[in-house]
Amino acid sequence: MGRLDHVHVRVPDRAEAARWYAEHLGFEPVDAYDFWATGFEGGPLQISADGGKTMLALFEASEGHPMVPQQTGIAFSVDAATFISFARSLPSGIDSPRGDRLMLADLLDFDMCWAFDLVDPWGNQYELNCYDYDRVRAELVETDAVEAVRYWPRELYAAYLNSASS
């Protein structure tokens, strides 16, 4: 499964939770992912105590959240070869959070990484991420003509990149 990337944490107020985690546990926002938290309602605020190697993704619990409703989830990060191999093995007896078999068509496009949301037989939710965005796009998405799922508009990330380069 690769390394632990982040854990999803649902809180009633992201800002309040971020302050608590900063004050008591030394967590700080990870600037590279700030566009997810500021670009649209319901996005995660990524915080870390180790410079972004492992993170907490703070999701504000609300009715309008764009993702599959969940309690918490653990995200793992893998290299491109492992991610592509996993994707091409689907369906393989792993379910999606919706309760049906996880399929290649469930691929998520987060602009800087690709992901699959999955559950174990007991309902525990996981996310499998790959940050080698260009390689996965070239060797899987384009090669296999995959239409990835998007939770927010691509323009959000483009605007983030433009502001970061200014």
pLDDT digits (tens, 9 = 90+) for 105-148: 999 999 999 999 988 876 778 889 999 999 999 999 999 999 99
Q: What is the pLDDT of the chain when averaged over all its residues?
A: 87
* pTM (2 d.p.): 0.71
Sketch out the chain's domains with CATH numbers. Answer: 3-161 (3.10.180.10)
Are 86 and 114 a contacting pair, CB within 8 Å? Answer: no
| Pairing of the two strands 3-11 and 55-60 | parallel
53 phi, psi to nearest 5 deg: -70, -40
The pLDDT, as a whole number, for residue 64 is: 59
